[in-house]
Structure 1
Amino acid sequence: MAFLVAGTLRVAAQMADAQDSLGRKGKYSLQGPRVALILSSPGVPTAMVAALGGVFQALGFESCERRESPVQGFLEELTWFREYLDARGGPMGCALVALVAPSGQLRQPQRLVQELSCCGALRGCPKVFLLLSAGHGAAPEPGAFLACLGELCGRSHHWSLLQLLTELFCRVAEESTGGTRCPILRSSLRGALFLGGVEPRGPEPEPSLSAQYDLSGARAALLLAVTQDRPGAQYDLEVLGGLCQALGFETTLRTDPTAQAFQEELAQFREQLDTRRGPVSCALVALMAHGGPRGQLLGADGQEAQPEALVRELSRCQALRGCPKIFLLQACRGGNRDTGVGLTALPWYWCWLRAPATIPSHADILQIYADAPGSSSGSPTPGSSDQADILSVYAATEGCVAYRDEKGSDFIQTLVEVLRADPGQDLLELLTEVNRRVCELDVLGPDCDQLRKACLEIRSSLRRRLCLRA
């Protein structure tokens, strides 16, 4: 009897690990099957689909579904794929989906991403989306993008996927005409993802000087925070200001800016950098305020400022050309309150086990845009150098609430804690750890008595490793 109980508990523990898929060391375990889908519209070159298949195989996906449909039918195909995975039974290890359509036609990819996020078999597992433009005018040229990706996958098994993508973005930019093209990634991953199946057994070697940004020049930080009617905001300012100074940033702090002042402060910050005598190597901008229903920032006067316009303002800075520009956005991006997802039924033996924690609904997603999407009229050309070397970190995913209390926000407080502990590590990897810790928290909003979840969104067009050690 004892043998049967021990065996049952051992199997249950394995099920718990598989359901979460995130190893206890901050790395996805990928114990289940890896599933892949190539979804392309009619007219996509056969060679491009074959190249995708080769990349998927290099990443360890032995089998791959291939479906062809007009762009209008992509959602239906993703629904079929989700139902197909749920019907297979048992948890998956990872899903990789390539969406290929003529340039400009794939206009609302988030709806497609959300469809696969509802897949029960993929709960807690990484879901990777590769979005490619095909046809005349695609930027960068998808064949070159895939060839470079396949080559890196073949020889860099020990790299995490985020490390691999940073190197890929650098090569794509260097090989495109004039070096003006750069892809973008959007991540809510909670851990390191090693798709090559080989994790480093010892400490990773230090990156070469050419593989990371040169931060020998001046570092400048601008902190803009609305503190009125935002309890805890002052604590965020104090700890973030202290972190910036510890990392060698010359820091400017402005409190309670109006919506117009947000724009004016960014413009003045850019002009000051452009008129400096010495070189500038990095800029950090923190934007902290209430958020509007569509992600706007609300100034102290209650008026709206568009965060995309503030990012564009700094991307015009000539002194920062080719240098990393970091944006931290602590604000709500809508009114949705995420209750998270977890196991729907707990067997009797779960009282002896640590049940997997509830996971934010928008976690574990990585989107790779080979052709960076424009956001609105007047935005930089998709994939252009104006969008390169930018790292934006949002305290909440699109449409969701960002949480804060009298002790500060979960995002800023956790960010400072993680960066102070290990400032020499690659910033993208550190931010993934920040997201893992934020996703583990259960929070109570000011207007409800039910526990909620939060999840960061990390957007990056960085082309080198970024280490902020002073």
Structure 2
Amino acid sequence: MAFLVAGTLRVASQMADTWESLGRKGKYSMQGPRVALLLSSPEVSASTVTVLEGVFRTLGFDSCQRREASVQGFQWELVRFREQLDAHGGPVGCAFVALVAPSQQLRQPQQLVQELSRCGALYGCPKVFLLLSSSPGAASKPRAFLTSLGELCGHCPHWSLLQLLTEVFCRTAEESSGAASCLVLRSSLRGALCLGDVEPWGPEPEPSPSAQYDLSGAQAALLLAVIQGRPGAQHDVEALRGLCQALGFETTLKMDPLAQAFQEEMAKFREQLDARRVPVSCALVALMAHGGPQGQLLGADGQEVQPEVLVQELSRCGALVGRPKIFLLQACRGGHRDAGMGPTALPWFWRWLRAPPATPSQADVIQIYADVQGSFPRGPIPGSSDQADILMVYAAAEGCVAYRDEKGSDFIQTLVEVLRADPRRDLLELMTEVNRQVCELEVLGPDCDERRKACLEIRSSLRRRLCLHS
């Protein structure tokens, strides 16, 4: 009994410290051991595995397991890994899982991500997934990515993982012999994740001017909002339009567009940008509407439009080649209402320990795709030119409800507040802070009296830091 109580108190202590650090500094405290798992299919070359193991050591992951299995066996290996962590008897600071397989075989990695998210030892802790293609034609790019990541972690230990990845994305693109190249990350982190073996509250690095997008040219925004049948949506429109104007965006607003009008307005927006005589530095598109069961947007006529089609339309804009394109999507992506995850114990016990509230079940995960095809269902292929320099922020995780009331949505209202407070910070870092605040909120679902949680999803192929206000 004494051992059980001691273990429970340790978990509660780590939870409280993590919660305090995220609230106080917006950074993960990283207390507890760092564990890594390398899953590779038999076709993977030994040199790729060697480079990857070196990256793990550089990042401070002393405990690294390597297992070889078919792609179909990855799920079982992750089950074993999760059970091993839960049986450890103590909290884990961070988990890093690398999945290496031939191109096009890792098409649906979300089941693997969800498996590790069920790990009790990793509750509230960051989980990093690295998905690498081992196809012969793409072998050099993952190795270049890994080498750059290892070097930067050694030279810039105070940098957050998002800062490191942005720099790595830039370097990898520059080393691709002029070919359009991009790597993609998918994040629900709630704070800065510093993997360097340093004290986490060190000074922030000063980025060089060349590491940032040049926003000296014109900036344009397109807001497409369905207000009809969406109480509170008008407040989101007003708040977002005011923010865009404060940041210097030339803003176009279209209310209650039909499904066909979504596509027409996006095409018109692209044509106007291409027709401009002055350079365009950045484009922002906000899509606000009801969502379908598979993540579709619903126009004012109730008809569906795929958001990926709108993204591809703007990606064809010649004036925006190499320029950042921001998409904000305030819409449901399914009908699941997340009750969140919390410690498995009696509620009064955790209240007595003053444990933090439940965390959204999809939070604290970052996935990094290096030349892995099919990682974005129904969307552009990572590695292709039309996927580069894009930041997409969803108000809800895949399959989940996006919440809104008569005052507006949690996502848009929090985003406007955070960006107005500190517009000079890197936009990826600001979006992570928005996610932290949204994850702390609790809402009452219309279907019951139980509290529900929400979590953003951030997808980025940005290759430089993006600061909207110089």
TM-score bracket, normalised by the shorter chain, equals over 0.9
SS where residue 64 of structure 1 aligns? strand
Q: Cα distance 1:411–1:460, how it changes in 2: closer, same or farther (>3 A)? A: same
SS where residue 194 of structure 2 aligns? coil
Q: Cα distance 1:50–1:8, how it changes in 2: closer, same or farther (>3 A)? A: closer
SS where residue 328 of structure 2 aligns? strand
CA RMSD in angstroms, aligned pairs only: 2.1
Q: 1:32-431 counterparts in 2 under 5 A?
A: 32-138=32-138, 141-198=141-198, 203-346=203-346, 350-374=350-374, 380-431=380-431
Instruction: Tell whether the 8 Å contact from 1:140 to 1:371 is kept in structure 2 after alignment.
Output: no
Instruction: Tell whether the 8 Å contact from 1:222 to 1:251 is kept in structure 2 after alignment.
Output: yes
1:4 corresponds in structure 2 to none
Looking at structure 2, the residues matched to 39 and 137 of structure 1 have their Cα atoms a distance apart, in angstroms, of 21
Q: What residue identity is the alignment partner of 1:359?
A: T
Q: What residue identity is the alignment partner of 1:323?
A: R
Looking at structure 2, the residues matched to 66 and 204 of structure 1 have their Cα atoms a distance apart, in angstroms, of 34
Q: Cα distance 1:274–1:109, how it changes in 2: closer, same or farther (>3 A)? A: same
2:457 corresponds in structure 1 to 457
Q: Cα distance 1:133–1:185, how it changes in 2: closer, same or farther (>3 A)? A: same
- Deviation readout 1:44-92 (Å, 9 max, x if unpaired): 1111111111001111101201000011111111111111111111111
Looking at structure 1, the residues matched to 132 and 375 of structure 2 have their Cα atoms a distance apart, in angstroms, of 17
Instruction: Tell whether the 8 Å contact from 1:224 to 1:262 is kept in structure 2 after alignment.
Output: yes
- In structure 2, runs of 5+ residues without a counterpart are 1-5
SS where residue 178 of structure 1 aligns? coil
- In structure 1, runs of 5+ residues without a counterpart are 1-6
Q: Cα distance 1:170–1:244, how it changes in 2: closer, same or farther (>3 A)? A: same
- Deviation readout 1:369-397 (Å, 9 max, x if unpaired): 01153478996454022111000000001
Q: Cα distance 1:324–1:12, how it changes in 2: closer, same or farther (>3 A)? A: closer
Instruction: Tell whether the 8 Å contact from 2:107 to 2:375 is kept in structure 1 after alignment.
Output: no
Instruction: Tell whether the 8 Å contact from 1:140 to 1:370 is kept in structure 2 after alignment.
Output: no
Instruction: Tell whether the 8 Å contact from 1:140 to 1:181 is kept in structure 2 after alignment.
Output: no
Q: What residue identity is the alignment partner of 1:132?
A: L
Q: What residue identity is the alignment partner of 1:16?
A: M
Looking at structure 2, the residues matched to 377 and 95 of structure 1 have their Cα atoms a distance apart, in angstroms, of 25
Instruction: Tell whether the 8 Å contact from 2:369 to 2:375 is kept in structure 1 after alignment.
Output: no
Looking at structure 2, the residues matched to 347 and 416 of structure 1 have their Cα atoms a distance apart, in angstroms, of 34
Aligned-pair CA distance for 1:207:
2.0
Aligned-pair CA distance for 1:145:
1.6
1:17 corresponds in structure 2 to 16
Looking at structure 2, the residues matched to 225 and 28 of structure 1 have their Cα atoms a distance apart, in angstroms, of 35
Aligned-pair CA distance for 1:8:
12
1:447 corresponds in structure 2 to 447
Instruction: Tell whether the 8 Å contact from 2:339 to 2:360 is kept in structure 1 after alignment.
Output: yes
Q: What residue identity is the alignment partner of 1:234?
A: Q
Looking at structure 2, the residues matched to 398 and 407 of structure 1 have their Cα atoms a distance apart, in angstroms, of 24
Looking at structure 1, the residues matched to 433 and 231 of structure 2 have their Cα atoms a distance apart, in angstroms, of 26
Looking at structure 2, the residues matched to 330 and 63 of structure 1 have their Cα atoms a distance apart, in angstroms, of 40
Q: What residue identity is the alignment partner of 1:391?
A: L
- Deviation readout 1:127-184 (Å, 9 max, x if unpaired): 0000000022327622222111111111110100000000000001110132411100
Looking at structure 2, the residues matched to 444 and 348 of structure 1 have their Cα atoms a distance apart, in angstroms, of 21
Q: What residue identity is the alignment partner of 2:274?
A: D
SS where residue 107 of structure 2 aligns? coil
Looking at structure 1, the residues matched to 133 and 8 of structure 2 have their Cα atoms a distance apart, in angstroms, of 48
Instruction: Tell whether the 8 Å contact from 1:18 to 1:32 is kept in structure 2 after alignment.
Output: no
Instruction: Confirm or deny that 1:29 pairs with 2:4.
Output: no
Q: What residue identity is the alignment partner of 1:269?
A: F
Larger mean CA deviation between 395-404 and 136-145 belongs to 136-145
SS where residue 178 of structure 2 aligns? helix
Instruction: Tell whether the 8 Å contact from 1:139 to 1:181 is kept in structure 2 after alignment.
Output: no
Looking at structure 1, the residues matched to 45 and 326 of structure 2 have their Cα atoms a distance apart, in angstroms, of 37
Q: Cα distance 1:10–1:92, how it changes in 2: closer, same or farther (>3 A)? A: closer
Q: How many residues align?
A: 464
Instruction: Tell whether the 8 Å contact from 1:139 to 1:371 is kept in structure 2 after alignment.
Output: no
Larger mean CA deviation between 371-380 and 183-192 belongs to 371-380
Looking at structure 2, the residues matched to 8 and 40 of structure 1 have their Cα atoms a distance apart, in angstroms, of 34
Looking at structure 2, the residues matched to 465 and 28 of structure 1 have their Cα atoms a distance apart, in angstroms, of 21
Aligned-pair CA distance for 1:21:
8.5
SS where residue 369 of structure 1 aligns? strand
Looking at structure 2, the residues matched to 378 and 349 of structure 1 have their Cα atoms a distance apart, in angstroms, of 45
Instruction: Tell whether the 8 Å contact from 1:22 to 1:191 is kept in structure 2 after alignment.
Output: no
Aligned-pair CA distance for 1:357:
1.4
SS where residue 150 of structure 1 aligns? helix
Instruction: Tell whether the 8 Å contact from 1:91 to 1:122 is kept in structure 2 after alignment.
Output: yes
Looking at structure 1, the residues matched to 257 and 140 of structure 2 have their Cα atoms a distance apart, in angstroms, of 39
SS where residue 65 of structure 1 aligns? strand
Taking only the aligned residue pairs, the percentage that are identical comes to 75
1:3 corresponds in structure 2 to none
Looking at structure 2, the residues matched to 336 and 204 of structure 1 have their Cα atoms a distance apart, in angstroms, of 38
Q: Cα distance 1:205–1:192, how it changes in 2: closer, same or farther (>3 A)? A: closer
Instruction: Tell whether the 8 Å contact from 1:20 to 1:125 is kept in structure 2 after alignment.
Output: no
Instruction: Tell whether the 8 Å contact from 2:141 to 2:172 is kept in structure 1 after alignment.
Output: no
Q: Cα distance 1:26–1:71, how it changes in 2: closer, same or farther (>3 A)? A: same
Looking at structure 2, the residues matched to 228 and 79 of structure 1 have their Cα atoms a distance apart, in angstroms, of 46
